[in-house]
Structure 1
Amino acid sequence: MNVTWLMRMAKWARRPPSMLHVKIAAVAVLAVIVIVVVDKLGYWPDWAKLNPRGLRNWKP
């Protein structure tokens, strides 16, 4: 493990994030999970999907 990551973990142990930051992160993770589940179930609209074939030969 890098020394930078150890220092960052020590900083977080001394001063953990506020409950507001934890709630914001939890809502963001929950939103991503909901979007992935809706897409896997087939309810995500076609206009919101990315067409990877169309971007392969894209030139500005």
Structure 2
Amino acid sequence: MNNLIWLLRASKWARNPPSARRVRLVLAIVALAIGVVVLERLGWWPDWARLEEGRAVRLPR
């Protein structure tokens, strides 16, 4: 049933595609997120923007 819903969404999107402005916006957000991940992996992310290990919320098991 879920596949049918996605098929209907895809057909609706094919009939009425998003504008070029919206596509550019989504691509810019994705590029920004990838850039943040790359900066963090390279170690270039500033220390003030990192999450401290002991301060994270932990869910009980």
Q: TM-score, normalised by structure 1?
A: 0.82
Which structure 2 residues correspond to residues 18-33 of structure 1 after superposition, within 5 A?
18-33=19-34
DSSP-derived class of the 1:2 partner: helix
Q: CA deviation at 1:37?
A: 0.8
Task: Decide whether aligned partners of structure 1 residues 52 and 7 sit closer, same or farther in structure 2, where only a CA change above 3 A counts.
Answer: farther
Q: Which runs of 5+ in 2 are unaligned?
A: none
Instruction: Tell whether 2:8 aligns with 1:7.
Output: yes
Q: Where does residue 42 of structure 2 map in the other structure? A: 41
Instruction: Tell whether 2:29 aligns with 1:50.
Output: no
Q: TM-score, normalised by structure 2?
A: 0.81
Q: CA deviation at 1:3?
A: 1.4
DSSP-derived class of the 1:8 partner: helix
Cα RMSD over matched residues? 1.5
Q: CA deviation at 1:19?
A: 0.1
Q: Which runs of 5+ in 1 are unaligned?
A: none
Give the percent of matched residue pairs that are identical in Structure 1 and Structure 2.
42
What is the aligned residue count? 57
Following TM superposition, the consecutive aligned residue runs of length 4 or more in structure 1 with deviations greater than 6 angstroms are: none
Q: Which amino acid aligns with 1:4?
A: I
